[in-house]
Structure 1
Amino acid sequence: MPKMNPKWVALCSAAVGSIYLSGMGISHLKEGQIPTDIQENLQVQAGNVEKDDTPQAKAVQPETRRMYADGTFSGQASNRIGAVTVAVTIQNDQITNVDITDVNTHYSSSYINDLPSEVVSKQSYDVDNVSGATLSTEDFRNAVQSALEKAKA
């Protein structure tokens, strides 16, 4: 198979990249918020710059915007059977720990004791309902959601 001219490769790559970014910009991003890694890849593909993957180059690249601030945030939710309070710890935009700090429900808190680990593994407040403790699960889920709202950067 004949070798393709590098200029055509760069031109085609830049065209495909610009079409991709146009679609991404229309569907996901506000004007002017193209992530720096995508901008860099387009410039490399177009032949405008050489990509530098050394640790020193990576260290000077700007940090991407975080969704959550680091720290421990509390959340509380209640309904007709009681209330649940949680403490959610976030580090580097990841949920690292969830503690149930207070439970005041008509039913035993043991039903929802496994939910904190499920939040950490799923990285989401959207945990499965616990059979026999649907309202307690709902309180827990809403309390974690409340804590994550407070953590938004």
Structure 2
Amino acid sequence: MQVPNDQHIIAAKRILRYLKKTEFYGIHYTKSTKFALCGYTDSDFAGSNEDAKNTSGYLFTLGNGHFSWNSHKQSVVAQSSVESKYVVAAEAANQAFWLRKLLMDIKFEQKFPTNLFIDNKSAIAIVKNPIWHGKTKHINVKYHAITDTMEKNKINVQY
């Protein structure tokens, strides 16, 4: 903002063109009796031919509208599809925790646990049963924090 150059002008024009083309797009919320935070996760295994890293993502809904999502290449190379699913589940659990705090800050506290859907039963077993962690020592320690996040912050993991 202090020293704008030609690249900044090009980027600003690109953003304005995008906004003009998408002005009628949006998230439409309709009346719903269930207005609960809910998350979904997914990832591929060794999807990148270049570096064997996985693409993972998560999506959160509130009521019947999608409002928070992320899709990116994982920073670690997973050694199995279970590890790939587990890593994205840990990232989504952290996002769910942050979203619950945000909703509480705007006086919309979630009274019930947030459901986080994972499409791999083995990854769910690792999340729910810390005894499995002996078989998953190769997974970065920061991803094992999902167990604590899940219990302390009202997050249910389901298939």
**TM-score interval, normalised by the smaller of the two chains:** under 0.3
TM-score (norm 2): 0.23
TM-score (norm 1): 0.23
